[in-house]
Amino acid sequence: MIDAVVFDLDGVILQTEEVWDEVRGRYVVEQGGRYGEEAQRAMMGMSAPEWSRYLADDLGVPGTPEHISADVVRLMEARYREELPLIAGARDAVEGLAARWPLGLASSSNRPLIDAALDLSGLERFFRVTVSSEEVPRGKPAPDVYLEAARRLGVAPDGCAAVEDSHSGIRSAKSAGMRVIAIPNPSYPPDPAALAQADVVIRSLDELTPELVASGSA
């Protein structure tokens, strides 16, 4: 039985993977670092301390990870305030599931970006708890952020359904013991091994109905 639903943010509610790629790529190059097409996929699911350290140690960006993270977060928040990339169907899906279950959010985004996104979208009131992977020891694919979301919801992990789009997110939620509903990211699709771990695979948020979540099958 499902007792709660936990959403990812980037790639599920917001179409931001491309924005992250653009913002971090431009920042790295402007700072004299190296940025290639493999960098975005490598960073998907990393917490802010992890990806900012990756920019410093692997991509050659000068400065401390803390300084790098703060710079990128400012750039990302400015983009959100220009135009929030809310995915079609996100509002209806969130509102529909919130009418039946308590909702959590388990995201690799920084806390300021989570708060800005939910405020700008008007979705904040539907989420009982939100967790940034900054707030747990390890980012995705480790299960920490999902386990913390379940803890704050007061629900056992195996009573939660998780909605994910990426290889690292699917592995994270599955490792936490949750039922995983995957909506593969079309720009950065999960690898076949990760996708095989999902309990249900759907094509869009339009298919994310209370009936599907409750039944556990498409």
pLDDT score for 6: 98
- At residue 68, the pLDDT reads 97
Q: Where are the alpha helices (DSSP H) in 14-110?
A: 17-30, 37-43, 48-57, 65-82, 90-98
**Domains of the chain: residue spans and CATH:** 4-15+85-215 (3.40.50.1000), 17-82 (1.10.150.240)
**pLDDT recorded at residue 44:** 81
Query: pLDDT by residue (tens digit) across 32-48?
Result: 999 988 898 888 878 88
Q: Check whether 64 has a pLDDT greater than 70.
A: yes
CB-based burial of residue 124 (10 Å sphere; 0-12 exposed, 13-18 middle, 19+ buried)? Answer: middle
- Asked if the model's pLDDT at residue 115 lies above 90, the reply is yes
* pLDDT score of 45: 76
- pTM of the full predicted structure? 0.91
* Cα 161 to Cα 214: distance, rounded to the nearest angstrom: 9
Q: Write the pLDDT tens digit of every residue in 11-29.
A: 999 999 889 999 999 999 9
**Exposure on the CB side of residue 31, measured as CA atoms within 13 A:** 21
Average pLDDT over residues 148-153: 98
Check if the beta carbon of residue 212 is closer than 8 Å to that of residue 218: yes
Q: How far apart are CA 42 and CA 24, in angstroms?
A: 13
Angstrom distances, CA of residue 120 to CA of 4, 83, 87, 113, 125: 24, 9, 13, 10, 12
Q: What is the pLDDT of residues 75-103, one digit of tens each?
A: 999 999 999 999 999 999 999 999 999 99
The arithmetic mean of pLDDT across residues 203-211, rounded, is 96
The reported pLDDT for the residue numbered 36 is: 87
pLDDT at 138: 93
- Over residues 158-204, the pLDDT tens digits come to 999 999 999 999 999 999 999 999 999 888 889 999 999 999 999 99
pLDDT in the model for residue 218:
58
